[in-house]
Amino acid sequence: MGIRHQSFLEFKQYRYLKLAVALVLLAVVAYVWHRNTRFFAPGNVGYGGTWMGYTLGSIATALVVWLLWLGVRKRRYRASSTSLQGWVSAHVYLGIATLLIAVLHSGFELGFNLHSFTLILLAAVVISGIYGVFVYVRVPPNMTDKIGEDSLEGLLLQIRTLDVQARKAALSLSDAFNSLLVNAAQDTRLSGSIFDGLGGLRLRACPTDVAVQQMQVLLRQLKAEHVVLGREVFSLMLSRQTAVRAVRLELRSMARLKRWLMWHVPMSIALVVALAAHIVSVFIYW
């Protein structure tokens, strides 16, 4: 029986989920207590200008700064897989907790002002982070199912080896066979920009796919003494086709992660700027 792989969502027996739940529960209890016993205003709704609001806002700010610092630190230095799992797990659970605490800090009041904009921006960052969780959870297992245990480097080496073997085996075959092999080796496109694949777009007229299709026709035209070699070359080309598709799958998955970061990281930076302006405006005008 193999060892079950532990997801980052389960890191250290849900350490950060437990911490996030505890923080949110404490914040809810404190907010409800303050609203019902210490805050006297029409509607009896607390907001960020009370001492409880400042406390909750400070906790949310500290969490935002810590999560961003942790993200920068993990990208700057090489981290072990265990450490990286912990970082992602903390981002997921504490990020959601930060948004809930920030909502309590606001007293559920929104308007056309910098403070509400900061809260909305925080929500956008958290939502994009949730999408990132989906990407991290779904993409790697999907890649493993499709390409097995081969790494990208291993697949590229496999393609080069297959090309050498096919060219060598096809020396006694017709020019048509050899031309297909050359085209497949030289013209097959493995990757493109990080926006390739959006909207279901796929690479078309792949030289490797064309070679596989046309070789099936050429095989039926071979003389008896060349049939064995022809089948060997065709088998090698089928293996090449499988490896090429696996490489493209992995590169598309990596591009998907990069597209997410292009959305998530700039919004996180914008959040820092808005949060700083929010804090400064509070001290100046309140």
Q: What is the 3-state secondary structure (H, E, C) of the chain?
A: CCCCCCCHHHHHHHHHHHHHHHHHHHHHHHHHHHHHHCCCCHHHCCCCCCHHHHHHHHHHHHHHHHHHHHHHHHHHCCCCHHHHHHHHHHHHHHHHHHHHHHHHHHCCCCCCCHHHHHHHHHHHHHHHHHHHHHHHHHHHHHHHHHHCCCCHHHHHHHHHHHHHHHHHHHHHCCHHHHHHHHHHHHHCCCCCCCCCCHHHCCCCCCHHHHHHHHHHHHHCCCCHHHHHHHHHHHHHHHHHHHHHHHHHHHHHHHHHHHHHHHHHHHHHHHHHHHHHHHHHHHHHHC
Q: Is residue 198 part of a domain?
A: yes
Q: Is residue 144 part of a domain?
A: yes
Together in a domain, 129 and 271: yes
Together in a domain, 160 and 68: no
Together in a domain, 45 and 13: yes
Together in a domain, 169 and 221: yes
Q: Is residue 27 part of a domain?
A: yes
Can you give the pLDDT at residue 71? 67
Q: Is residue 65 part of a domain?
A: yes
Together in a domain, 158 and 112: no
Together in a domain, 277 and 236: no
Q: Which residue has the tokens 């810590």?
A: 66
The number of folded domains in the chain is 2
Q: pTM score > 0.75 for this model?
A: no
Together in a domain, 93 and 176: no
Can you give the pLDDT at residue 74? 57
Range of the domain at 237: 152-254
Among 240, 252, 251, CA closest to 157: 240
Among 131, 179, 165, 169, CA closest to 240: 165
Token duo for residue 244: 């090429």
Together in a domain, 185 and 279: no
The total of other beta-carbon atoms located within 10 Å of residue 115's CB is 20
Q: Is residue 3 part of a domain?
A: no
Structural contact between residues 68 and 125, judged by C-beta atoms closer than 8 angstroms? no
Structural contact between residues 83 and 90, judged by C-beta atoms closer than 8 angstroms? no
Together in a domain, 132 and 160: no
Regions of the chain where pLDDT drops below 50: 1-4, 77, 143-148, 198-203
Q: Is residue 272 part of a domain?
A: yes
Together in a domain, 234 and 161: yes
Together in a domain, 217 and 279: no
Together in a domain, 105 and 34: yes
Q: Is residue 1 part of a domain?
A: no
